[in-house]
Amino acid sequence: MSLDKDQIQKLATLSRIAIDDATLEAVSERFSSVLDLVDKLQAADTLGVEPMAHPLQTTQLLRDDIISEPNHQEAFQKLSENIHDGLYLVPKVIE
Amino acid sequence: MYKLSIAELGEGLRSKAFSSRELTEYFLRRIAALNPLYNALITVTENSALAAATHADKQLSSGIGGDLCGIPVLHKDIFCTQGVRTSCGSKMLDSFVPPYNAAVVENLASAGAIMLGKTNMDEFAMGSSNETSFYGPVKNPWDISRVPGGSSGGSAAAVASRMAPAATATDTGGSIRQPAALCGVSGLKPTYGRISRWGMIAFASSLDQAGPIAGSAEDCAILLQAMASYDPRDSTSVERSVPNYRATLNNSVAGVKIGIPKEYFLSGLNPGVEAAVMSSLSTLRDLGAELIDISLPNSHLSVPAYYVIAPAEASANLSRFDGVRYGHRCADPEDLEDMYRRSRAEGFGEEVQRRILIGSYCLSAGYYDAYYRKAQQVRQLIRQDFVEAFTQVDVIMGPTCPSPAFKFGAKGDDPVAMYLEDIYTIATNLAGLPGMSIPCGLVEGNPVGLQLIGNYFDEASILNVAHQLQRVSNWHTQHPEGLD
Amino acid sequence: MQWETVIGLEIHVQLATATKIFSGASTRFGAPANSQACAIDLAMPGTLPVLNSQAVDFALMFGLAIDADIPEVSVFERKNYFYPDLPKGYQTTQLEKPIVGAGRVTIETPNGDNKVVRIHHAHLEEDAGKSLHEGNFSSQHSAIDLNRAGTPLIEIVTEPDLSNAIEAVTFAKKLHALVTSLGICDGRMAEGSLRFDVNVSVRPRGSETLGTRTETKNLNSFKFMEEAIIREVDRQIDVLEDGGKIVQETRLYNGDTKIARSMRSKEEANDYRYFACPDLLPVLVTEERLQRLRKSLPELPEARTTRLVEQFALSQQDAQILANDIDLTSYFESVAKQCDNPQAAANWITGELIGRLNSEDLELDNSPIDAGQLGILIQRISDQTISGKMAKQVFDSIWSGAGEVDQIIRQRGLQQVSDSGALEQMVTDVLSKNPAMVDDYLATEENRRKKKLGGFMGQIMQASRGQANPQQVNQILLQKLASMIEASGE
């Protein structure tokens, strides 16, 4: 199975990755090669097989509702150059 | 000195034959000399290493140091290290300095191990040759024209060239075992949940597991002992006591049932690799182990299932790298969309981008059932194959990889050729079982690996079998040339 | 054409936990920006979620309170989309296996009937942060505060069982009362603790098929919700009657400008690519846990209403108002105990107090008059220290911070004049100053004289500056007039 360029661009939009037209052909071709690989799954007989979401067969442990995280804002915000009065700045969000 | 095992180095430290500071300085000198050849390290933490070594020496002299106290180690650059850049092999995190440590880093530090630096890796652990690293490929110390394997190629090459006696690594589809095999060292991927994933940058959360790479099974046992712990910060960490792995290493293998899956010996397996594996198996038989032919009938589906599940999880795990709070942000974005799209296009390499796209595709409306759900069903079948097999045998063995290390660029432009490198290792991750690779021979001068797969939380059995094999063979003590 | 409205609600309820759903950071409202966003909330690499036990309990308590099916296992999924206030690039939420299954909430419709509103399910999820679009930063930017990111929510989804704005608001108020009574939400709508998304569609009356619906998001007051529904229903009918078609879309309603608009940017085909979150395992709800929670459930509004009617002989209507909010119930109970007059306490609370709180947009917590003071005030009416009219003045004075009941009465000399000698003098004075009125009274037929009394009363009360005890004045006045009638030789 292969995807056309529009489909690849749609996935790129969904994934927020810019793909320029020059590489689109190659991206599409390699993508299709991987799809050929995963399409081998279709031959498997999985009728009635319970999907396995996780290797652990156990259930979630719960945490007590106790504040355990001190304020490390200063350390965290050193990781960004786009801070203003403690806020993270991004290009204007248009709703 | 570089030929000494961790156990031997530990004895040297405790008997004051040398100090941890001397040992640390010695390996730092090896790094300075060898790393330019192999590019196995991204960051060297000389100052903090020396300070930690001085501290370890104090502990040792007061007699409170354990097996790892004062022993130099390297951490794969996927483990967050407080105050030390943690890049995950990606431009995206080239300037990322975490304000916290991974659980694995904490555990080894509190055992007294000395971090010498951070090892190179395939970007976000996606690759089997270390060619996808933003910091350039790692060279295989056995032949620098060949790949070291991946994604933990830096850890494997660093241990193979003895820039450190051991390194941490991670394995999502073979990323510990395959490079260990290709670099002639021992590497263990424990049961999913045995080691905390806290602070380990996620690739595919239901498959990722940390583990050690070292010179021998015994050294892996010593490292696993310190790395394994229940961690309430990781919901998938298992609350289960950690056995004493060294205590059972010397158990006899007489009567141990070893399953040989016929699917691991089909066409595509290099005859040299096959011969090396068979030779190790016959050694084990000579030691009294029972070899049993078994079948894992869904093995051929593991690679396709993996390349749905791992990219799907990765596509979500990597969404946090959006240029907002940390990591690469493109220059002068026109608007929000442009910031997202260019930051991610510039910050991620081609293979990472491809896997994100594949993952998005497999989860998208109309394709979820055909790909993601189907892959999870196949995953169940693969697990059931193992569960069935382990009703008959104690350990499953076969080759780690189909062939020895290939030359750089040999897999060309076809990602699938690269994906098939992990054909024997991926099923273990899908099932969540422990797996190990130890060196079992040289094919045209290049090391090849023997894989041991254990039952859930039965790392002790594979370490025991591997150690018994290493007691009577010497593949693990072979070194590439040019290390002195 | 006759149109019929179909409304379904999605309600986001912030749970009153101390910490986030997946991290140990505080959920306190109003902290400095990003001071309560820890490594997990910021989606720092390598961080992992661990589920808050209290959030699970709160969700289950809601489920028990609405008599819902509670499945043994629920599963968290990732809902993938990019937005700057969503640090992980996915929201951890529940889809296929929510923690609370189908349940029901009964409301009283305007004509007094009971109506069952079916709850489709309620699921646990994390809140996003906040995007600020204006501030002292460049107009080219938005600014992100992630303090709210990871605050636990339950999203409650109703079936489309509501037929008009009033029903929707009645339901919303009922739900507000329920979650605050349970103590699982602080109910502070202005702070976003409860947020309503309204799905509205219209169809020709009698039609079986549903019309195309729109979703108006994030309404955080009952008033805005009512307005938004009324306007949207009108808009849809206008569009359809003009031969147009309703576009399925997400809309925003601005309560200040009263303008609703379509969120175009949300209209791009969203594909959320849900899948089970591999960092979290299935959540098991044991029967032991449910038993423990069942035992700990506080009295719910319906039970409280019944109790208030029975215990205090209140009307159903008063009891319902007082029972809606657990704090109001306890306020009432204190006042009633203090003044030993439950009906008067109910009247003052449902009338004066709630009216003032509403008009000044205050919560009961911030009421300037506490239960003790209101109780004493009512006592002073009962013991005839002050008149009811005076009491309203005292109430106003306390409200504006003038002091306490007895202090105000004393300082301002508001005690009723009940001294019969003084009152007799007042009555005599008024009668002698108004001979024409007296003549008129005497000339009036006996059965119509009562109507004429008001004129005298008004003058006497005025003369006493309102302090005369009206019952006493009435009595004296009647006596005096009776003796005048006798004297006139009838």
B426 Cβ under 8 Å from any chain A Cβ: no
Average pLDDT of chain B is 97
Chains with ≥3 Cβ pairs under 8 A against C?
A, B
Tokens standing for residue C172: 């919303």
Q: Looking at the predicted structure, is the pLDDT value of residue C279 above 60?
A: yes
Q: Between chains, do B80 and C87 touch, taking CB under 8 Å as contact?
A: no
Average pLDDT of chain C is 91
Instruction: Identify the three-state secondary structure at position C438.
Output: helix
Residues of chain A with C-beta less than 8 angstroms from the C-beta of C141: 84, 89-92
Instruction: Identify the three-state secondary structure at position C468.
Output: strand
Q: Looking at residue C463, what is its pLDDT?
A: 80
Highest-confidence segment of A44-48, C384-388, C486-490: A44-48
Instruction: Choose the mutation target among A63, A72, A74 for the interface with C, i.e. most C CBs under 10 Å.
Output: A63
Name the more confident of A15 and C480. Answer: A15
Q: Looking at residue C42, what is its pLDDT?
A: 98
Q: Quick one: CA dihedral A2, A7, A10, A14, positive or negative?
A: negative
Q: Between chains, do A62 and C40 touch, taking CB under 8 Å as contact?
A: no
Look up the ipTM and state it. 0.97
Q: Looking at the predicted structure, is the pLDDT value of residue C269 above 70?
A: no
Q: Report residue C199 CA to chain centroid gap.
A: 21
Q: Between chains, do B235 and C275 touch, taking CB under 8 Å as contact?
A: no
Query: To which residue do tokens 């640090």 refer?
Result: C87
Residues of chain B with C-beta less than 8 angstroms from the C-beta of A56: 192-193, 236, 238, 432
CB of B454 closer than 8 Å to CB of B395: yes
Mean pLDDT confidence for C331-360? 92
Of C26-40, C49-63, C79-93, C345-359, the poorest mean pLDDT is in C345-359
Euclidean distance between CA atoms B378 and B296, whole angstroms: 13
Distance, in angstroms, between B291 CA and closest chain A CA?
27
Instruction: Identify the three-state secondary structure at position A69.
Output: coil
Residue of A nearest to B298 (CA): A44
Q: Looking at the predicted structure, is the pLDDT value of residue C387 above 70?
A: yes
How many inter-chain contacts (A to B, CB under 8 Å) are there?
170
Residue of A nearest to C262 (CA): A95
CB of C168 closer than 8 Å to CB of C225: yes
By Cβ distance, the residue of A31, A34, A50 closest to B380 is: A50
Tokens standing for residue C366: 């911030």
- Domain spans of chain C? 3-290, 299-411, 420-487
Instruction: Identify the three-state secondary structure at position C78.
Output: strand
Phi and psi of C219, rounded to 5°?
-85, 125
- The DSSP code for C300 is P
Q: What tens digit of pLDDT does each residue of C94-120 get?
A: 999 999 999 999 998 878 788 999 999
Residues of chain A with C-beta less than 8 angstroms from the C-beta of C284: 59-60
Residue of C nearest to A73 (CA): C35
Residues of chain A with C-beta less than 8 angstroms from the C-beta of B379: 51-52
Mean pLDDT confidence for C188-214? 94
Q: Between chains, do C48 and B198 touch, taking CB under 8 Å as contact?
A: yes
Residue C426's pLDDT band (cuts 50, 70, 90): confident
Q: Between chains, do A86 and C132 touch, taking CB under 8 Å as contact?
A: no
- Domain spans of chain B? 6-258+391-477
Euclidean distance between CA atoms C137 and A91, whole angstroms: 11
By Cβ distance, the residue of C23, C38, C282 closest to A59 is: C282
Residues of chain C with C-beta less than 8 angstroms from the C-beta of A90: 84, 141-144
Q: Which of C163, C162, C161, C165 is nearest to C230 (CA)?
A: C165
Report the percent of chain A where pLDDT is more than 90.
Answer: 85
Residues of chain C with C-beta less than 8 angstroms from the C-beta of A75: none
Mean pLDDT confidence for C269-298? 95
Euclidean distance between CA atoms C147 and C157, whole angstroms: 26
B365 Cβ under 8 Å from any chain C Cβ: yes
Mean pLDDT confidence for B336-356? 97
Q: Between chains, do B198 and C46 touch, taking CB under 8 Å as contact?
A: yes
Distance, in angstroms, between B363 CA and closest chain A CA?
11
Tokens standing for residue C29: 């409202």
Instruction: Choose the mutation target among C40, C279, C284 for the interface with B, i.e. most B CBs under 10 Å.
Output: C279
List, by residue number, the catalytic residues of B: 76, 151, 175
Residue of C nearest to B200 (CA): C46
Q: What tens digit of pLDDT does each residue of C54-100 get?
A: 999 999 999 999 999 999 999 999 999 999 999 999 999 999 999 99
Residue C470's pLDDT band (cuts 50, 70, 90): confident
Q: Looking at the predicted structure, is the pLDDT value of residue B479 above 60?
A: yes
- The DSSP code for B373 is I
**Angle between helix C53-65 and C165-182 (nearest 10):** 130
- DSSP-assigned letters across all residues of C107-129: EE-TTS-EEEEEEEEEEEEE---
Euclidean distance between CA atoms B211 and B79, whole angstroms: 12
CB of C89 closer than 8 Å to CB of C126: no
By Cβ distance, the residue of B204, B235, B360 closest to C280 is: B235
Residue B49's pLDDT band (cuts 50, 70, 90): very high
Residue B399's pLDDT band (cuts 50, 70, 90): very high
Q: Between chains, do B298 and A36 touch, taking CB under 8 Å as contact?
A: no
Residue of A nearest to B357 (CA): A11
Q: What tens digit of pLDDT does each residue of C114-141 get?
A: 899 999 999 999 999 999 999 889 899 9
In words, the CATH class of domain B6-258+391-477 is alpha beta
Chains with ≥3 Cβ pairs under 8 A against A?
B, C
Report the percent of chain C where pLDDT is more than 90.
Answer: 64
Distance, in angstroms, between A76 CA and closest chain C CA?
8
Residue C370's pLDDT band (cuts 50, 70, 90): very high
Question: What is the greatest pairwise CA distance in chain A?
Answer: 58
By Cβ distance, the residue of C48, C82, C271 closest to B364 is: C271
Q: Which CATH number fits domain C420-487: 1.10.10.10, 1.10.10.410, 3.40.50.150, 1.10.1040.10?
A: 1.10.10.410
Q: Burial letters for B183-192: b for 16+ Cβ neighbours within 10 Å, e otherwise? A: bbbbbbbbbb
Residue of A nearest to C83 (CA): A93
C387 Cβ under 8 Å from any chain A Cβ: no
Q: Looking at residue A2, what is its pLDDT?
A: 74
Q: What tens digit of pLDDT does each residue of B402-455 get?
A: 999 999 999 877 889 889 889 999 999 999 999 999 999 999 999 999 999 999
Distance, in angstroms, between C79 CA and closest chain A CA?
13
Q: Between chains, do C50 and A88 touch, taking CB under 8 Å as contact?
A: no
C17 Cβ under 8 Å from any chain A Cβ: yes
Give whole-number Cα distances, B307 to A74, B298, C12, in Å: 39, 15, 37
**Number of neighbours of residue B152 by Cβ within 10 angstroms:** 39
Residues of chain A with C-beta less than 8 angstroms from the C-beta of B326: 76, 79-80
Mean pLDDT confidence for C421-428? 84
By Cβ distance, the residue of A30, A81, A92 closest to B354 is: A30
Euclidean distance between CA atoms B381 and B42, whole angstroms: 40
- Domain spans of chain A? 5-42
Residue B150's pLDDT band (cuts 50, 70, 90): very high
By Cβ distance, the residue of A60, A65, A88 closest to C282 is: A60
Q: Which of C385, C356, C355, C353 is nearest to C370 (CA)?
A: C353
Q: Between chains, do A93 and C52 touch, taking CB under 8 Å as contact?
A: no
Tokens standing for residue C272: 């959320």
Residue C453's pLDDT band (cuts 50, 70, 90): confident
